Amino acid sequence: MTPLVVLPTYQEAENIETVLRRVRAAAPEAHVLVVDDGSPDGTAELAEKVAEDLGRIDVLRRPGKAGLGSAYRTGFVWGLERGFDVLVEMDADLSHSPEALPELLAVAEAGADLVLGSRYVPGGATPQWPRIRRFLSVWANRYAAAVLGLAVNDATAGFRAYRSDMVRRIDLSHSRADGYGFQVEMVYRIVRLGGRIVEVPITFTDRVEGSSKMSGRIVVEALALVTLWGVRDVLTGRRRG
């Protein structure tokens, strides 16, 4: 099976070379697609330089910052058109250890439709997070799981592998969600389609270089969407209240 690792980047000049080299070393069979949104710090140019050196890396340049959800939708369409069997989501800030790729890929190849690199199963960890951040994230996940009926501990996880056959069944053009909202939406749709989801423990480390693009808007959007989908399910009789 040929996997495609989609790396969305915005202002990751300090990380891009390291992440690309570590991905190649950890999963040499994987093709990589960097989706850069016109980073003013020259992330795309750096990625292109590493691509010339390593090969099997493509850089998709988009004109402006359009969000993580949109970057993944574009990357997935690109990968489906080219026939990749597995599509991987991974942050480019080294919070997701490339060395965990072989396990994610192996579980997808063994038949899981979606493999989540989970912080909230035994063995998963967020060593640098203050207790309050972990608490909020765990409870946001419990809320989403309860409202949407998902038997998943980390639906907001951003390190994951999908089997392309499953992604093909999802109408990506229908989705507008960004950030956590996009991550939960994909889990939700796959659960609705009867897909098999497996969580493998990962250690999430905080970025060392560069700055976060996370915003309160993305958190509020995700909570609002989860609530909306949950209410809709009850109203349409898909789920009892």
Ligand X SMILES: Nc1nc2c(ncn2[C@@H]2O[C@H](COP(=O)(O)OP(=O)(O)OP(=O)(O)O)[C@@H](O)[C@H]2O)c(=O)[nH]1
Judge contact between 213 and 11, C-beta under 8 A. Answer: yes
Beta strands in 23-171 (DSSP E): 31-36, 57-61, 86-89, 114-118, 160-163
Shortest spacing between CB 179 and Mg ion, in angstroms: 11
Binding mask 179-218 for ligand X (x = CB under 6 A): ----------------------------x----xxx----
Place of tokens 């639906």: 155
Query: Nearest distance from residue 85's CB to ligand X, in Å?
Result: 23
Least gap, CB of 194 to ligand X (angstroms): 29
Q: Which of residues 27-56 bind ligand X (CB under 6 A)?
A: 35-37
- Taking the C-alpha atoms of residue 15 and residue 36, their distance in angstroms, rounded to an integer, is 13
Indicate whether 89 belongs to the interface with ligand X (CB under 6 A). no
Among Mg ion, ligand X, none, residue 221 binds (CB under 5-8 Å by kind): none
Minimum distance of Mg ion from residue 169's CB (angstroms) = 29
Pick the closest to residue 14 from 46, 49, 36, 37 (CA basis): 46
Strand partners, 199: 116
Least distance to Mg ion, CB of residue 168, Å: 28
The option from ligand X, Mg ion, none interacting with 68 (CB < 5 to 8 A, set by class) reads: ligand X
Measured CA to CA, the distance from residue 55 to residue 59 in angstroms comes to 11
Structure tokens at 155: 């639906």
Phi first, then psi: what are they for 171, rounded to 5°? -80, 95
Select the residue interacting with Mg ion from 39, 43, 74, 95 (CB under 5 A).
Answer: 95
If binding is defined by CB under 6 A, does position 68 make contact with ligand X? yes
Q: By CB under 6 A, name the binding residues for ligand X.
A: 8-10, 12, 35-37, 65-68, 71, 91-93, 95, 207, 212-214
